[in-house]
Chain A
Amino acid sequence: MPRYLVDKISRKAVLLCALASFFILVLIVVFIFRDGMAGFIENGIGAFLFGTDWSLKRGEYGVGVMILGSISVTLGTIIIAAPLSITCAIFLAETAPPEVREVVRPAIDLLVGIPSVVYGLMGMVWLVPLIRDHFGGGGYSLLAAIVVLTIMVLPTIISLSEDSLRSVPRHYKESALALGATDWQAIWRVLLPAARPGIVSAIILGMGRVIGESMACYMVIGNAFAFPSSVLDPSRTLTSNIVGQVEEAAYGSSHMHALFACGIVLLVFIFIFNSVSFTMRRREG
């Protein structure tokens, strides 16, 4: 084939590849909304979003409990994970001797790749009995989910925050030290604020991952349909709801529509997180 023809064809081919990603995104939105909107219509938007009944028997579906569950788990996790991760990140970026960093950083990168079902398994086998025997309740609880998800999201936030801290120009900290600040003051008052956009971005990304986590959450949260009265009560999230029922629901049924509607709500949350992150990044400049 003549060279120029190959060149022409290949140009179109790579353009198609690039367009493919756009099409995939569009298709995802279309198909999730197609079945999901059916779910909203069949139940009524308000009744679906705020209803607390999820009953196959009566054909009524409401995700009020799941939304609360997702929010509680996400907030609970971030409140614990954020300070912990940032501390670790500061340690790795500033205080740790290089030998320690050489070992720890790859270990953290490795932990990001461990399958979520493995974390869930550990939660089921070790954490749930622990909570049941020492704290009360059935063990499967919000607390279990928060702990497991914290552990899962720590490596992500730590590595992103550490990258962020490392990318702050050296001279910021050095100038502060030169002016007589202690190491800690330099970190707290100069380095952190400078790295703040990156760190906040990391935290929001972490939140996105937490709210989207399905498998590990399902395995430890107990999946009850009632509002939890304490952190030791079982609960249900949007994601664990889908995991629990997607295999048994027949496609095209109103049950499946309701599950897709859960997907829509989830996407809305992700969209909100992304928009917040985007606006914050814009403002910091």
Chain B
Amino acid sequence: MKVKRLLITLIILGSLLVAPTDSTMAAGDELSGTIKEDGSTSVLPLAEAFALRFMKLHPRVRVIYGGGGSGTGAKDCAKGQVDIGATSRELKISEADLISYPIARDGVAIIVHKDNPVDELSLGEVARVYAGEITNWEEVGGKSGKIRLYSREEGSGTRDVFESKVMKEKDISGRAYFKKSNGEIQTAVARDPGSIGYVSLGYIEGTKALSIEGVKCTVESCKKGDYPLVRRLYFHTKGTPDEPVKAFIDFCRSEEGQKIVEQLDYIPLTL
């Protein structure tokens, strides 16, 4: 009786282990192998979409990726643990020795609650708000009320870009609410009337994206380069990549890849 139960359990487990993969089995094709990548969570949805499409085109290739953040992406790539490290910022000096391939661009929007009367801020004002020097909305032309800051955690590429392009020398105030993802900040700002946050361009729904230095934050203005807070998203490799990694990166940067970029509300590389 016990043996029978054990056998049944093992059979169930076994069948789950050989569960269908997420790619279709199609006729033969020269490219095969495994591509491992990890890194930035901002790049993640893009990486997923790229991988899915690529695996459909080349069924014998498997793309595996993890999250971990831009820092992890660069480090793991340098150590050779992954073939591709994805970051949403440029490499730091300590991370050099990797070859960088830009694969898309992304805008960083400064968002506030929909009902907030403030429509635009200058870069300097945003920096002072986030540094804790401006603490009340009326100081920047809004209704009186405490400003609540929302920021990303350390190690986030989005935060890195925000700090280098906006904060510059100043530090983000310790009084901010630190969240782990664009989505969380989006939700929090959408609900909190006194809030301000920064997110990737695809996350402004439900909130109001401020115009920075007089430029509205849209895909168009980012494409044209008018909007000041635009950054590149990168795949990095250690040394020149071989197949199928090279084919994958070429795919991402090709017209078809860039179409995927646009579908996901990122900004394609070419103008």
Contacts and interface: CB of A to CB of B under 8 A. Distances in A.
Is any CB of A less than 8 Å from a CB of B in the complex?
yes
B153 A245 contact: yes
Interface stretch (B104-112, B172-180, B262-270): B172-180
A223 B173 CA distance: 12
Contact of B177 (A52, A129, A138, A247): A138
Interface in A38-65: 52, 54-57, 65
The bracket for how many chain B residues form the interface is 20 to 34
Given A138-B192, A244-B180, A253 B175 contact: no
Interface string B145-185: 00010000111100000010000000101111111100000
A55 B171 contact: yes
B20 to A, nearest CB: 28
B179 A56 contact: no
Interface string A211-232: 0000000000011111000000
A138 B155 contact: no
Contacts of B180: 244
B150 to A, nearest CB: 8
B184 to A, nearest CB: 9
- The prevalent SS among residues of B at the interface is mixed
A139 B177 CA distance: 10
B177 A223 contact: yes
A250 interface: yes
Most central of A226, A249, A255 by chain B CB within 10 Å: A249
Nearest to A61: B154
A132 interface: yes
B177 A224 contact: yes
A255 B155 contact: yes
Interface string A245-266: 1011111110100000000000
A138 B72 contact: no
Contacts of B154: 54-56, 245, 248-249, 255
Contacts of A234: 175, 177
Nearest to A136: B146
Contacts of B188: 138, 140
A12 to B, nearest CB: 28
A54 to B, nearest CB: 8
Contact of B178 (A56, A223, A252, A255): A223
A244 B195 CA distance: 21
A149 to B, nearest CB: 19
B241 interface: no
12 contacts: A52-B174, A55-B154, A65-B174, A138-B148, A138-B194, A223-B178, A224-B175, A225-B178, A236-B178, A244-B178, A247-B69, A248-B68
| Top 5 A-B pairs, shortest CB-CB distance | A248-B155, A248-B69, A225-B174, A226-B174, A250-B75
